[in-house]
Amino acid sequence: MKSAKSVESIRRTKKYIAGYVMFDKSISAPMFQEKILSYDKNKQRFINMFRFKFQKEGFIVKQAEEDADYLIKSALEIEKWSQCVVVVGEGWF
């Protein structure tokens, strides 16, 4: 059974569809953000690029696949021994 998040993602994807776009941290995107991120592979590459950058700077990075409760629980555990915790939601993308 598909979650509400999955159904909403499918609905949005039908509105904006883009193919695979080659990009890296040194170039600007050749099309609108909504279209680039509508394609799951582009979105995952974008997330991985940020994940690598933050990890390289010493941050702990966790990504919730479907269940945001995991992310919130992890953030609360990290907060016990860390000075700062940042949670980024999908609305940012």
pLDDT tens string 20-37: 666 666 666 566 666 777
Q: Does position 9 have pLDDT exceeding 60, yes or no?
A: yes
Predicted confidence at residue 2, as pLDDT, reads 60
Say yes or no to pLDDT of 56 above 80: yes
What's the structural domain count of the chain? 2
Phi-psi region of 41 (alpha: psi -120 to 50; beta: other; left: phi over 0): alpha
Mean pLDDT of 45-56: 86
Q: Which of 47, 61, 49, 43 is nearest to 24 (CA)?
A: 49
Same domain for 70 and 41: no
39 and 71 fall within a common domain: no
Question: Which residue range is the domain that position 34 belongs to?
Answer: 4-61
Rounded to two decimals, the pTM is 0.52
Kindly state whether residues 10 and 42 are assigned to the same domain.
yes
Asked if 17 and 52 sit in the same domain, the reply is yes
